[in-house]
Amino acid sequence: MKLINKKLLTLSEQIAEQIRAAIISRDLSPGDKLPPEQDLAEQFQVSRPTIRDAIKLLTAAKLIVTKSGAKGGHFVAEIDLNALMNDISDYISLSLSLEGMTIDEVLEVRETVELKSCSLAALRRREEDLQVLKDTLAGMDAAISSKHFYERDFLFHKAIAKATHNRMVITTIEAIILSLTRYFNHTDCPIELRDQLTRQAYDIYEAIEQQKPELAAKKMEQHLNLFTDFLPSISS
């Protein structure tokens, strides 16, 4: 029998895990204030430095925030979707830089999520969502620079994600796009390709406007495939 050597948790790690479990189970909610360090030390029967180490671990995990002043203390952090998006994006960018993952792997995930995003957007879009999409398309002009074209194209994809009204979809797509923005920041996009991508974007918009989820997903697939076919020429 093969035995697995599991790392033993320190006292501070054990305490951090218990508080983390309480947050996940909603016994502690965002904004709740933790008991003073001395009270926690007595409750867990450990020293205050051990409690401080546990708080540091929870702070690093962005589960706890510390406020100073008369009404200060340690509080359960509010959910920050922007921070989560940046964390995911940073992880993707770092993995690409260190070759921990390939651009193909990122694009595969992007396609999976974006096809579903298009379908949901077609079903759930509101008038204000359509207006945002229109405004974004208006700036997707083949005469602008490659950098600005990418910005407009990525804004279009983010606008579709927002039209799903699903926060997980929005966060995931925005994180992926943010990492791709860094990847394509200095990459030229031929005018012919911009023309094709722009026409496809209008086709996607029409399918979403007409609330045709299957057609919207099909048009998005064509759009992403054209974009992906362009990659070998810029990565070589």
- Give domain limits for the chain: 11-76, 81-231
pLDDT at 214: 97
Instruction: Note whether 95 and 101 are within 8 A (CB).
Output: yes
- For the question of whether the overall pTM of this predicted structure is more than 0.75, the answer is no
Residues 164-203: tens digit of each pLDDT: 999 889 988 888 888 887 777 667 888 888 889 999 999 9
In this prediction, residue 235 carries a pLDDT of: 47
Task: Return the CATH number of the domain spanning residue range 11-76.
Answer: 1.10.10.10
- Distance CA(180)–CA(84), nearest Å, equals 17
pLDDT per position as a tens digit, 85-130: 667 667 666 666 667 777 788 888 889 999 999 999 999 999 999 9
Collapsing DSSP to helix, strand or coil, 81 comes out as helix
Which fold, 81-231? Answer: Four Helix Bundle (Hemerythrin (Met), subunit A) (1.20.120)
pLDDT of amino acid 187: 75
- The pLDDT score that the predictor gives to residue 126 is 96
